Structure 1
Amino acid sequence: MTLANKTYRLLPEWYPQDGLQLTWPRPDGDWASLLSRIEATLERIVIATTRYQRVLISVPDVATQRRLAATFDAYGIPQSQLMLIVAPTDDTWARDHGPITVVDEALQPLILDYTFTGWGGKFPAEHDNRLTQWLDDIGVWACPVATRNMVLEGGAIETDGEGTLLTTEACLLNPNRNSSLSRTDVEAQLAKDFGVDRFLWLANGHLEGDDTDSHVDTLARFCNASTIAYVRCDDPTDPHYPALNAMEQELMAFRQRNGEPYQLIALPWPQACFDPDDGHRLPATYANFLIINHAVLVPTYGDPADLIALQALSVAFPEHTMIPIECVSVIRQHGSLHCLTMQLPRGTLVPALSHS
């Protein structure tokens, strides 16, 4: 995109990071019946991440802020590694209501604040939609923020950082997002904002229990500019098999800018997970991993395939430490590890951690 005579490009997840953003659940929110479990999972994410970088956490109230400060102090996490900010929120999915960062040619970042509507109006999102601006108003960001009227969630896009965007038709072309925009319109807007000139559209792929209309971060992910890790269903009797097999064929047909095929890393298919209350299937996926500085956090589900997924991703990230994060409770609310988080690239967070 061009702003103030500058050209910007979207950053890949492996770009060096200042920190990681989380949104802590409200006691009276959708996580109420699972609050202790989801908090335990989020604590594990914080403990793992603060070994490598800072963590910014939006918390619902002062009482939670004080409790978490004491908890993480007891874990031995330095205060300098945490920012605990009281802010009104609706839910925990920072990937989709968090900032999307681009950089100019001098690597100076700009935060783009897109409109978040709760995945096409499925859930309340008014507070989450304002969170990036709220954090800007209190001085958390070290770079400018530009507001966008377009509806877009971070989990819907993947980039190689070199001008290619990977996404899904089911989400970005869904009329519940930007009903007035055609594919050409969407491409034009994202090309302008992200500095991309190649679009890899997946027409196939969906996980039962997914509320996002097939976010690409549940299906296929860039590991580097030439490598894509993806969900592969190897069970012909599973209802997911036809769509995921078709998605695999699409990925095989995609080409890099130089005309070469992508190196594809198939991630294993976990055993079906079902909600213990009403029995509906839950969206367990190993594609929902998170790249941070020097490590990759990998969702696990107490499944024999967990180890296979960790081994597969260790091939994709030979210089990163693999850190398993148990996400059995997370999928109860139809997301996983990556969905809970948003990376904050270098230059986005203020150096001083004095906010409270």
Structure 2
Amino acid sequence: MTYRLLPEWYPQDGIQLTWPRHDGDWAPLLARIEATLERIVMATTRFQRVLICVPDELTRQRLAATFEAYGVPASRLQLIVAPTDDTWARDHGPIGVTDEKGQMVMLDYTFTGWGGKFPAERDNQLTQRLADAGVWACPVAPRDLILEGGGIETDGEGTLLTTEACLLNSNRNPTLSRAQIEAQLGEDFGVDRVLWLTNGHLEGDDTDSHIDTLARFCDPSTIAYVRCDDPNDPHYSALAAMEQELQAFRQRNGEPYRLIALPWPQACFDPDDGHRLPATYANFLIINQAVLVPTYGDPADVTALHALANAFPEHMLIPIECTSVIRQHGSLHCLTMQLPQGTLAQGAPAQRSGDTD
């Protein structure tokens, strides 16, 4: 069966978040990352639902009370207890597609912690656990292919944008050739064009150059991308080469894409060991009627918001401060997964517990 991958601007039931464990990688920054996640929930529930996977019943009760006090409508929030490894819902969450009859299906790809870099067994099981808890309103289709949501972008019209460094990396699907991967993407996503970026990376990125840190479809003819304007920055040459690749890409009708350059924030470094952190404005999240934009307390924040306002003239732009998020080498989009219309069970209670075994 051939499916169609839905673009992020397709109407959504909600978004998925995975709340951090107190004993996980976020432990030293737990209060900060929880504050950021709370801001995401508060912004998103103005427009749609938020599904949150939480590590234990005490956290579920605490968050239920917190968001009730904040005035979040109970109908907009669903808290599910389920074991997880980390918070990056973009990469362990399901990918929503439609089948040949237009019915929703959740594709459940294999998640290995970005090529075996980090523990991921519990995260890899999460989509099925949510199915067992009655969360989804549509079937879940497991996939053996190793693939993360942050590694792909679509225009919703048969074109996929991705990077060679990620999808062709030997730590993902080493037995598959480019042609075989393209064939699988065509079957799963209904795409007949794959635009491969050869260049582009961010220091401090654990994902092997996920596309959602570099270049994003804003509509079928528009791509927003990061541009480095500092010749002394180590990213300069690779991102300039990526820009040339984007300029050479063509839409299906032969026209060049409308390209919107996103500014380059000042270099951010980890305060503990000094390594560079992957701050990027490309890691925005499109929801119903709004776009959540990561900011970093940088002068370029305003420039980025203006650029994305040009890309999304009919959306409200909501800045979300993400200086704590990049401490664990991701940003706003990485924390979230959109759930297209028809994927969340409408009759599900606002709070319920899943299997915690």
2:355 equivalent in structure 1? none
1:352 positional shift? 1.6
Partners of 1:107 and 1:39 lie apart in 2 by 37
Structure 1 residue aligned with 2:126, among 113, 131, 140?
131
Structure 1 residue aligned with 2:200, among 197, 202, 205?
205
Question: Is 2:83 aligned against 1:76?
Answer: no
Question: Is 2:9 aligned against 1:9?
Answer: no
1:255 equivalent in structure 2? 250
Cα deviation per residue 1:270-300 (whole Å; 9 max; x = unaligned)?
Answer: 0000000000000000000000000000000
Structure 1 residue aligned with 2:316, among 321, 343, 346?
321
Question: Is 2:18 aligned against 1:31?
Answer: no
Partners of 1:133 and 1:89 lie apart in 2 by 12
Query: For the Cα contact (< 8 Å) 1:231–1:266, is it kept in 2?
Result: yes
- Segments of structure 1 that go 5 or more residues without pairing to the other structure are none
Structure 2 residue aligned with 1:53, among 44, 48, 52?
48
SS of residue matched to 2:109: strand
Alignment of 1:278-317 (within 5 A): 278-317=273-312
Partners of 2:322 and 2:126 lie apart in 1 by 25
Partners of 1:100 and 1:94 lie apart in 2 by 11
Question: Is 2:219 aligned against 1:219?
Answer: no
- Segments of structure 2 that go 5 or more residues without pairing to the other structure are 353-357
* Amino acid across the alignment from 2:85: D
* Amino acid across the alignment from 2:325: V
1:323 positional shift? 0.1
1:104 positional shift? 2.5
SS of residue matched to 1:177: coil
1:106 positional shift? 4.2
1:350 equivalent in structure 2? 345
* Amino acid across the alignment from 1:102: V
Size of the aligned set, in residue pairs, is 351
Partners of 1:293 and 1:103 lie apart in 2 by 19
Partners of 1:305 and 1:25 lie apart in 2 by 29
Question: Is 2:334 aligned against 1:339?
Answer: yes
1:353 positional shift? 3.0
Partners of 2:12 and 2:45 lie apart in 1 by 12
Partners of 2:84 and 2:313 lie apart in 1 by 37
Query: For the Cα contact (< 8 Å) 1:165–1:199, is it kept in 2?
Result: yes
1:138 positional shift? 1.0
Partners of 2:99 and 2:122 lie apart in 1 by 29
1:105 positional shift? 4.3
Partners of 2:168 and 2:100 lie apart in 1 by 30
Cα deviation per residue 1:194-214 (whole Å; 9 max; x = unaligned)?
Answer: 000001000000000000000
* Amino acid across the alignment from 1:141: W
* Amino acid across the alignment from 1:27: H
* Amino acid across the alignment from 1:243: A
Partners of 2:75 and 2:62 lie apart in 1 by 17
1:25 positional shift? 0.1
Partners of 1:284 and 1:34 lie apart in 2 by 17
Cα deviation per residue 1:139-174 (whole Å; 9 max; x = unaligned)?
Answer: 100000000001000000000000000000000000
Partners of 1:249 and 1:290 lie apart in 2 by 25
Structure 2 residue aligned with 1:237, among 201, 214, 232?
232
Alignment of 1:167-206 (within 5 A): 167-206=162-201
Cα deviation per residue 1:80-121 (whole Å; 9 max; x = unaligned)?
Answer: 100000000000000000000111344311000000000000
1:150 equivalent in structure 2? 145
Aligned CA RMSD, in angstroms, stands at 0.6
Query: For the Cα contact (< 8 Å) 1:82–1:353, is it kept in 2?
Result: no
Query: For the Cα contact (< 8 Å) 2:18–2:88, is it kept in 1?
Result: yes
Query: For the Cα contact (< 8 Å) 1:220–1:229, is it kept in 2?
Result: yes
Partners of 2:100 and 2:178 lie apart in 1 by 28
1:79 positional shift? 0.7
1:62 equivalent in structure 2? 57
Query: For the Cα contact (< 8 Å) 1:24–1:57, is it kept in 2?
Result: yes
TM-score by length of 1: 0.98
Query: For the Cα contact (< 8 Å) 2:134–2:348, is it kept in 1?
Result: no
Partners of 2:225 and 2:330 lie apart in 1 by 17
Partners of 2:189 and 2:26 lie apart in 1 by 34
